[in-house]
């Protein structure tokens, strides 16, 4: 039997409580994808309804205690996968925004690079969207064409055009 110091026990309890907090911060759809005992699933659902700070803190301690009864590694892995997916999605979004802004600014080599990387992209349509977005920016109009260019670049990148 392993001896655990009081400090080690506290660290584990805090870790499991933080894991419970991360579960509470997920959407209902994301929680459905994680295999959890019904008792923990109910506690997570209930935690979302608590408004009082003190009550929320106590409930998080309770959730941490419930988490001690299960093997938390599959939950940790599922949370990491969800967060990594969100991180990759954010990076992709920022890259597409950058492409759009550079194309509007007149970066022709970037357009050639995108067309080479994604041969299914339509040069004429991309040029039309870039030109409309440039005129829109010059005239300080609302960003409709700029958004259309963003959507087109996103679809090209995901292969949906």
Q: At what angle do helices 123-138 and 108-117 cross, to 10 degrees?
A: 150
Query: Do 14 and 64 belong together in one domain?
Result: yes
Residue 52 and residue 92 in one domain = no
Q: For residue 55, give the CATH number of its domain.
A: 1.10.60.30
Same-domain pairing of 90 and 62: no
Burial class (CB in 10 A: 0-12, 13-18, 19+), 20: buried
In angstroms, the CA 35 to CA 78 distance is: 9
pLDDT digits (tens, 9 = 90+) for 17-39: 999 999 999 988 888 888 899 99
Confirm whether 37 is domain-assigned: yes
Pair of tokens at residue 84: 């990594």
pTM value > 0.75: no
Tell me the C-alpha distance between 41 and 67, whole Å: 11
Res 86: pLDDT: 79
Residue 36 lies in a domain: yes
Q: Which domain holds residue 147?
A: 81-158
User: How does pLDDT run across 91-150, given as a tens digit for each residue?
Assistant: 889 999 999 999 999 988 999 999 999 999 999 999 999 999 999 989 988 889 999 999
86 and 44 assigned to the same domain: no
Asked if residue 124 is part of any domain, the answer here is: yes
């Amino acid at each position: 039997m392993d001896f655990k110091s009081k400090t080690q026990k506290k660290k584990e309890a805090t870790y499991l409580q933080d894991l419970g907090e991360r579960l509470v911060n997920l959407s209902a759809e994301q929680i459905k994808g994680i295999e959890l005992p019904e008792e923990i699933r109910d506690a997570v659902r209930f935690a979302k309804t608590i408004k009082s700070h003190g009550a929320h803190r106590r409930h998080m301690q309770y959730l941490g205690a419930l988490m001690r009864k299960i093997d938390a590694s599959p939950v940790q892995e599922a949370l990491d996968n969800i967060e990594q997916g969100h991180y990759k999605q954010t990076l992709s979004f920022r890259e597409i925004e950058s492409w759009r802004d550079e194309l509007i600014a007149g970066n022709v080599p970037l357009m050639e690079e995108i067309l080479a990387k994604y041969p299914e992209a339509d040069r004429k349509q991309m040029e039309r969207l870039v030109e409309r977005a440039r005129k829109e920016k010059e005239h300080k109009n609302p960003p409709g064409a700029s958004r259309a260019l963003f959507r087109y670049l996103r679809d090209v990148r995901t292969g949906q055009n």
